[in-house]
Amino acid sequence: MGERLAMISLHTSPLDQPGTGDAGGMNVYVIELAKRLGAKGIDVDVFTRATSSTLPQVVEAAERVLVRHIAAGPFEGLTKGELPGQLCTFAREVLRAEALQPLGHYDAVHSHYWLSGQVGALARDRWNVPLVHSMHTMAKVKNEALAAGDTPEPLSRVIGEEQVVEAADLLVANTDTEARQLVDLYGASPDAVEVIHPGVDLTVFAPRGRAEARRRLGLPEDAVVLMFAGRIQPLKAPDVLLRAVDVMLQQDPSLRHRLVVPVVGGPSGSGLQHPTALADLAADLGISDVVRFVPPVTQADLAVWASAATAVAVPSYNESFGLVAVEAQATGTPVVAAAVGGLTTVVRDGISGLLVDTHEPRDWAAALRRLVDDPELADRLGRGAVAHAQEFSWEHTAERTLAAYERAAGRMRAEMAL
């Protein structure tokens, strides 16, 4: 790998606040990886679509890391589903930005999500550099595990993803499960798939003590805090936690006076069609008094919330990785997660948390009750969570990714030699 990398994150900026709109774990992934690559001497340019006329064209996000805002379509009001219509304009502007530089400016392209992959494929051929692509989520996988009432991903996305898989010199999968899905569902060559776990900032997400965290947040020290963090949309299934809490209160009404259920995040995706749906559900279930809606917070504040929790619930219908689960475990809080996708890698059942095979509220209530009723189990899982989270560091991710760029370059050279 040379000295310069073009990173493409078309539909969401690494500068956006995770937890609302289209900003989530991928935003954290892009900025944290870019920062670590910058620290290793790589100049990283992150190309993203401008969503405001007030944004500077170029923002220095960290040492050696520039975020370049590309004007493509209206700044506001464009949904992710409408972005394919702006691919040509975005790609033209990316190519134009590179054309202003000396010949051979970039040594590789790393695209994130299928929309970026379409642009990355064009840049690869134009610049004659390897394309490494990270899917983050896949339409075929999402459509196999749709939440009730959620909208399936369109065929245009499926076809677009298949094209990116074919064009990329190397595909980075977050987990072994995602690697198998790329091979089985998209026909990727096993040799073209590299499994590299995302990381977690272990300086931000670290054990700080539950009592201190609760004091900072104004939570009672003896509270039972069952937390959800993420974008509020059917795929993430925060309603499963609320319905489980309802079951728990029916089973043990005495829990009500000390139960706090923080929902940290904002509406996103199909959840934007009914932005008050979760609050309405809490009211319908009669649990509004225990549910606390918290707008998206910074990584540092999220670490405090996670530290304060008795358990963090991740009931998603699908996750390619599940970054919030690693972040919570790194603070010493056990995670109760759905046994789907990358969560089966991120959470070690019975060691760092509990995996639930269904999305039935009674099953979730039973799993959460295990931690509430057995403090010794919760403490043991909390210790296991900290130990397990140490396996995921951004420094390790960056080292593996740099090696992947080299491997992609080798694959490209071999292909051209044929």
Q: Which residues are annotated as a binding site for UDP-N-acetyl-alpha-D-glucosamine?
A: 17-18, 25, 231, 236, 297, 319, 327
Tell me the binding residues: 11, 17-18, 22-27, 80, 113, 137, 157, 231, 236, 297, 309, 319, 327, 333
Tell me the binding residues for 1D-myo-inositol 3-phosphate: 11, 22-27, 80, 113, 137, 157
Q: Which amino acid is at 270?
A: S
Contact 50, 71 (CB under 8 A): yes
